[in-house]
Amino acid sequence: MGPGPGRESVANRGDRCPARLANCSNEVECAGFSWRAILGFMAPSSGASFERHSRIDPALIVIAAGVCAALHVGKLPPAITALREALGMSLVEAGFLLSLVQVAGMSCGLAFGVLVDGLGLRRSMMLGLGVLGTVSAIGGLAQGVAMLMALRACEGFGFLLVVLPAPALIRHLVAPQRVSRVFGLWGAYMPLATALALLIGPLFIGAFGWRTWWWGLALVSLLMVAVVARCVPAEPAVAPARGTPWLQRLRRTLAEPGPWLVALLFTAYSGQWLAVIGFLPAIYMQAGVSGAATGVLTALAAAVNIAGNIGAGRLLHRGLAPGRLLVIGFVTMTLAAAATFAGANGAGLPGWARFVAVLLFSGVGGLIPATLFALAVRVAPGDSMLSTTIGWMQQWSAFGQFCGPPIVAWVASMVGGWEFTWLATGAASLCGLLLTAALVRLLASRPAAAPSYR
């Protein structure tokens, strides 16, 4: 995708890193432990013209805001049992409640991407965190399934406003040669939030109830608004998106095959990952595993996805082809899901082997989202359409997350168990492999456009 009509060169994109990064004055160190030391690769090289007034990298704050938003997606799985008892939900209703937060992304992801490009990146993120905090606080007062479902859908709009501007904002905050590594961290925001919710949620809900769990996350979101305002600088005052009419940005994004392919690939990944991880607590509890152990095991299954995301960023940085990473991810998810679920009435693998398969499903599958975020930067028609491209990708990702859990729940309800789950996830992986082949051909047809991920 070399420079041409409607497309910006990689070099030109790199030249637009702002002259300042942070004006957060707080020094954050704890017992000699420095986050910046751990995440030093996020810092620009010595030749970059960045100012540092804080030991917190603003890109880390952006990622933390994404984690905060994703906690509202991940807060439901540990609460499913409590909600079913309190509100009398069926298993299928629980599946829809799990995925309803994705309605906004499924229906409005592209439109919100265009909106974010014009509204401003940091402003959009702060607005979304405020929406999440407010709606979650109201959700804690819900007395019925219908009200809770409606509020879950509203939370999806706040989630979009937070996560859509993040990749573009990270590009403004990080030196170009470090972008792929930081995108590896950004790709882990969802599994990190899921792991935290699954680890903390069961204990919190057991002690204080699901309503206090909703209110606590509302407070965290509202506090994060202040942190973003304090520590993350706004993007340059003259943003490229504001010079391009929104309809033109929309048309240019949808006219390119690249945004379509990465968006559909995210659908193939996200639906099966959320379906498996989202129902793990219910599966374990049906198998007689204690609530505390269920939370730990499911949190670990979600957390290993973080390693896959970070690993993908490092492998891309070292020059490994993104198509190869996608193939490895989808093939492993197919085989691991079959090993996890195949076999009824004790005919399958022993419990410890099934859990190892779950870890492989999530961990190696984590190669996929970080690779797709890096590819989104490459296939976007230009920086002024980056949030629009991410919005389109988020819209199809949300579609997968909306359909995946109810489909898996329906299959389990029809057969009376989870042993055929691998067929549903395997179909998604097969679609992912076919789309990967198409994307590899597209990228190979534009060799001059191949950017360095380093």
- Residue-wise pLDDT for 82-119, tens only, equals 888 888 777 777 777 876 777 777 787 888 888 887 78
> Please, what sign has the CA dihedral across residues 334, 340, 344, 348?
positive
pLDDT band at residue 291 using 50, 70 and 90 as cut-offs: low
pLDDT at 422 over 90: no
Residue 350 is given by DSSP the state: -
pLDDT tens-digit series, residues 33-84: 333 333 333 333 333 333 344 467 888 999 999 999 999 988 888 888 888 8
**For range 135-143, the mean pLDDT:** 90
Instruction: Write down the number of H helices and E strands in the chain.
Output: 20, 0
pLDDT at 20 over 50: no
Two structure tokens written together for 367:
């190669």
Taking a C-beta distance cutoff of 8 angstroms, is the pair 349, 356 a contact?
no
In this predicted model, which residue has the larger pLDDT, 384 or 18? 384
Two structure tokens written together for 188:
């882990």
Residue 33 has phi, psi (to 5 degrees) of: -95, 125
Contacts 24+ apart (CB under 8 A), 347-350: 348/419
Question: 164 to each of 39, 170, 182, 199, 295, how far by Cα in Å?
Answer: 23, 11, 16, 26, 29
pLDDT tens-digit series, residues 238-262: 444 445 577 777 888 888 899 999 9
With pLDDT > 70 as the criterion, what percentage of the chain qualifies? Answer: 80
Which residue is listed with tokens 């230009």?
A: 382
C-alpha span between 444 and 346 (Å, rounded): 47
What is the pTM (predicted TM-score) of this model?
0.71
Taking a C-beta distance cutoff of 8 angstroms, is the pair 144, 135 a contact?
no
Q: Which of 44-53, 371-380, 382-391 has the lowest mean pLDDT?
A: 44-53
pLDDT at 280 over 50: yes
**Helix 322-341 / helix 291-317 crossing angle, nearest 10 deg:** 160
The predicted structure's pLDDT at residue 62: 94
C-alpha span between 114 and 253 (Å, rounded): 10
pLDDT tens-digit series, residues 321-364: 999 999 999 999 999 998 888 766 666 677 788 889 999 999 99
